[in-house]
Amino acid sequence: MSRYPTLRCCGYELDRTIGTGGFGKVKLATHTLTGEKVAVKIMDKTKLGKDLPRVKLEISALKSLSHPNICKLYQVIETETHCYVVMEYCSGGELFDHIVEKSRLSEMESRMFFRQIISAVSYLHDNGYAHRDLKPENVLLDKEQNLKIIDFGLCAKPQGGMDSLLLTSCGSPTYAAPELIQGVKYHGSEVDIWSMGVILYALLCGCLPFESDNIDELFKKILRGKYIEPGWLSSGSKRLLRRMLCVDPLKRIRINELINDPWIKLGFGCPPSTLSHAIDQRKDVECLEVMSRHFNVEAEILWSRLSKWKYDSETATYLLLLNLKKSGFPLMLKKKEIPKPQPELII
């Protein structure tokens, strides 16, 4: 019997562990009704302590975000001791590993990934969120090499909107902006741009712009803002990196300039998409019909529940049916297996 009987009875078959972090672990699982693979973040609430608010923050952020380059939330299951966050499974692993595998990426491949990050971050900022912990380990790839941003446990939704200042120093120092490590007030959008600059440098160069085993040395390098520009970098990419890794946040490129930067548009002829295809929020009659027949509930009654986006088992089934439809698979729900009666033991 699996260690997490709750998940089995909530409609998931657990598989192997695919990630471990300070917050617990992530396990691969299968949604029984649709057969779709999902990733379940399992956290022991009794061990989270002061980090519990971060988990709540991530869940509330994910509930209001719907974008093709942001890892999708399907369901939240809470027991007395554990919190299970059921999310989109990204089978392509971390962008970080993809860069290491190829030592560094071509300009076009870097641009293809980076445009997706811009699209996700501009959507985030438009919705009043700053991620604040952008790094290659928090950028995953799905089976079609589409990019998905994860780990919103450090994100912020400043009360007064994106123009108000933040103070909490958070995230990984290697990717943290100078103003963030100085402990002065900062704008969440500006620190995200700096971290995106570090990611773009990693994509193009296969290493990090600021590195040191000694934290004080690392801080000095970040505050100086000086980094090596390898010979293979084009002038367009060098110019863009200088505008992103600009120590003075007031002079740093802003997201709306970034979207229209010539290097970003090269080969595409247009800026990255900045609108969220809120496909998950609109009613899909076909998926609704399949659920209505399976659960024997009036479609309109079902939709009145689904449109409340409670991220319960019905939300998960609906969103996973949408995934099946997007992938061109037949829309069907497996009948719950009625356990076969055990043959009487013949003594």
* 8 Å CB contact between 192 and 121: yes
Backbone angles phi, psi at 93, to 5 degrees: 75, -165
Region of 135-143, 205-213, 215-223, 326-334 interacting with ligand 82B (CB under 6 A) = 135-143
Give the single-character DSSP code of 209.
S
Q: Determine the length of the chain.
A: 347
138 is a site residue for ligand 82B (CB under 6 A): yes
Which residue from 245, 240, 241 is spatially nearest to 190, judged by alpha carbons?
245
In which residue are the tokens 């979207």 written? Answer: 259
Record the tokens describing residue 234, joined without a space.
């084009």
Residue 186 corresponds to which amino acid? Answer: Y
Spot the catalytic one: 44, 51, 126, 133. Answer: 133
Sites for ligand 82B among residues 27-56 (CB under 6 A): 39, 41
**Which of 36, 94, 192, 280 touches ligand 82B (CB under 6 A)?**
94
> What distance in Å separates the CA atoms of residue 170 and residue 65, rounded to the nearest whole number?
22
At its nearest, how many Å lie between ligand 82B and the CB of residue 34? 16
15 is a site residue for ligand 82B (CB under 6 A): no
198 is a site residue for ligand 82B (CB under 6 A): no
In which residue are the tokens 């400043």 written? Answer: 158
Region of 23-31, 207-215, 237-245, 283-291 interacting with ligand 82B (CB under 6 A) = 23-31
Q: Is 133 a catalytic residue?
A: yes
**Which of 14, 18, 52, 302 touches ligand 82B (CB under 6 A)?**
18
* Residue 154 vs 290, nearer CB to ligand 82B: 154
Region of 13-21, 113-121, 176-184, 214-222 interacting with ligand 82B (CB under 6 A) = 13-21
At its nearest, how many Å lie between ligand 82B and the CB of residue 112? 20
Distances (CA, A) of 335 to 6, 13, 38, 258, 330: 20, 15, 19, 49, 15
> What distance in Å separates the CA atoms of residue 45 and residue 49, rounded to the nearest whole number?
7
Under the rule (CB under 6 A), what is the footprint of ligand 82B?
18-21, 23-26, 39, 41, 71, 87-91, 93-94, 137-138, 140, 150-151
Q: Which residues are catalytic?
A: 133
